[in-house]
Structure 1
Amino acid sequence: MTSPAKPHPVIFIHGLWIHSAAWQPWLELFENNGYAVSAPGWPGDLATVAQTRSNPDGMNDVGIQQIIDHYAGLIQAQGGIKPLVVGHSFGGLIAQELLAEGLIAAAAAIDPAPIKGVKALPVAQLRSAFPVLGNPANRHRTVSLTDKQFHYAFGNTLTEDESNALHQAWTIPGPGKPLFEDAGANFSRHSPAKVDTHVADRGPLLLTSGTEDHVVPLKVTKEVVAMYSKSVAVTDFHVFEGRGHSLTIDGGWKDVAVVVLEWLAAMGF
């Protein structure tokens, strides 16, 4: 049974290496709860996983600012009431940028890529990023993860078979540039990963972290939460015990989605 229509649409933003089609179960759940929904891909993404894998070159040299501008343009073109954004990984970083710029009404950043100012650099995070950062030439091209690399980075809490199935279903080559930009953010005065965490008149923000996340470890997201502590705007934090970076697409995705739905309702959306 579908719930009464809600005024704010919800935009879902995926992270590196995952196609936007992976949001489909979320779209259906949120639509059944009364939201108008969409999950537009990054600039250069094609309509399907297969098409993007076959021709990923449109994402070569696509960086953080270009992704921000892409979603900002989509939001501004829609006009009307400000949307809500749910972002995973780099999508969570983009969500924070859009919120700080006043373009959206609220944001849920699920295990978000670190913003400028985070100093923690756990070994698991370095190992997860090494397939890209290990070769400077990858800054200008797309890079795919192997089954084994995906299992370590995303599916470390899953069986090998479960992880491999997700890898086969949803992974696409990802542009290397955002990872290089994020890795060097603290050394760049005008880093595109910089977010104004002191904005007072922004909408509410939910940050989440899985305790077993290798791509964005809990320690990293805790630093981000601390950076927002001086803002009077609402910033909430939720920890998913025992969950890794695959939490939005694996068998426990609905538990995560329900937390976001309940938070949005609590915020009046």
Structure 2
Amino acid sequence: MSDQKIPVVFIHGLWLAASSWQPWVDLFTERGFAPISPTWPGEAPTVMASRANPEAAAGYGIDAITSHFAAIIDSLPSKPIIVGHSFGGMITEKLLGQNLGIAGVAIDAAQIKGVLPLPLSSLRSTLPVFRNFANEKRAVSLTVDQFRYSFGNALPAEESDALWEKHSIPSPGKPLFEAASANFSAHSPAKVDTDNDDRGPLLLIMGGRDHVVPEAITKSTMKQYRQSSAVTELVEFRDRGHSLTIDSGWTEVADSVLSWVGERVMASSS
């Protein structure tokens, strides 16, 4: 029997750096996996470098980002578990639908094609991008206050501000414009193969106080998978916001993911 460790690919979303996954990488390494947290295309290796050259990340859309991570997965010795947050959650769903992972975890995932609810809090969270149509071709940053509303609304202000300082970077506006128009486009890049019966199991996680991806979006996403016989499950952290992967309670979410992986992936392969 091979003792090769199972790869795990962590994919962040808009306005967070790849380094925001480092505690997860450390934890999954300790548990015997082989995790990585790659940068998005155009993203610098550090938060400060990304802030110093924001336009390097500009113009990348959902297809380009998906292809970027697909190429990384192709370079791995075996199919990984894919874990994504926010737009990284959408990318996770797309990659899993393409059978590129043995399992997927989509945490507060951005809306895919077919999801109709667009709550007011979600609109307010994305206003920094949508207030100017030129932002489709630009990289956009969040201010401390905007980050506090979108990510840190369930946290003390001091913790939210510290997370902004440590993790927040400029991100391309194009994926948001593509997601917003998804239901009006026959070939939207936000489309996911939700009918795939042969894909690996998928866990959707939602924060009950999330402003960016309110629970109505995640519940509607769950319904998109109703035609598939593959495993799709939903877990809610009722009192958590969009920061649930990076704030002081991140281990609760990570332990839930590890427990699910043990049940749905490790047990079935043993």
Could you tell me the TM-score, scaled by structure 1's length? 0.97
**2:230 counterpart letter in structure 1:** A
Partner of 2:72: 74
- Separation of aligned partners in 2, 1:246 and 1:228: 25
- Separation of aligned partners in 2, 1:193 and 1:168: 30
- Separation of aligned partners in 1, 2:99 and 2:35: 20
- Separation of aligned partners in 1, 2:79 and 2:210: 31
Deviation for aligned residue 1:217: 0.3
Determine helix, strand or coil for the equivalent of 1:207.
strand
List runs of 5+ in structure 1 lacking aligned partners: none
Deviation for aligned residue 1:8: 1.6
Determine helix, strand or coil for the equivalent of 1:215.
coil
Mapping 1:7-86, distance limit 5 Å: 7-78=5-76, 80-86=77-83
Determine helix, strand or coil for the equivalent of 2:78.
coil
The answer to whether structure 1 residue 173 and structure 2 residue 175 are counterparts is no
The answer to whether structure 1 residue 201 and structure 2 residue 198 are counterparts is yes
List runs of 5+ in structure 2 lacking aligned partners: none
Determine helix, strand or coil for the equivalent of 2:75.
helix
Pick from 247, 261, 266: which aligns with 2:263? 266
Maintained 8 Å contact 1:7/1:81: no
Partner of 1:118: 115
- Separation of aligned partners in 1, 2:81 and 2:206: 19
- Separation of aligned partners in 2, 1:142 and 1:13: 18
Deviation for aligned residue 1:259: 0.4
- Separation of aligned partners in 2, 1:25 and 1:8: 18
Deviation for aligned residue 1:153: 0.5
**2:172 counterpart letter in structure 1:** P
Structure 1 residues 170-216: Cα deviation after superposition (integer angstroms, max 9, x where no partner):
00001000000011111111110000111000000000100000000
Deviation for aligned residue 1:159: 1.3
Partner of 2:180: 183
Maintained 8 Å contact 1:84/1:106: yes
Maintained 8 Å contact 1:6/1:34: no
Maintained 8 Å contact 2:103/2:265: no
Structure 1 residues 68-104: Cα deviation after superposition (integer angstroms, max 9, x where no partner):
00000111122x3211111000000000000000111
Determine helix, strand or coil for the equivalent of 1:268.
helix
The answer to whether structure 1 residue 141 and structure 2 residue 138 are counterparts is yes
Question: RMSD over aligned Cα, in angstroms?
Answer: 1.1
- Separation of aligned partners in 1, 2:154 and 2:232: 28
Partner of 2:210: 213
- Separation of aligned partners in 1, 2:39 and 2:100: 18
- Evaluate the alpha carbon distance shift between residue 158 and residue 191 of structure 1 in structure 2; reply closer, same or farther with a 3 A threshold: same
- Separation of aligned partners in 1, 2:161 and 2:7: 33
Deviation for aligned residue 1:6: 6.2
The answer to whether structure 1 residue 228 and structure 2 residue 222 are counterparts is no
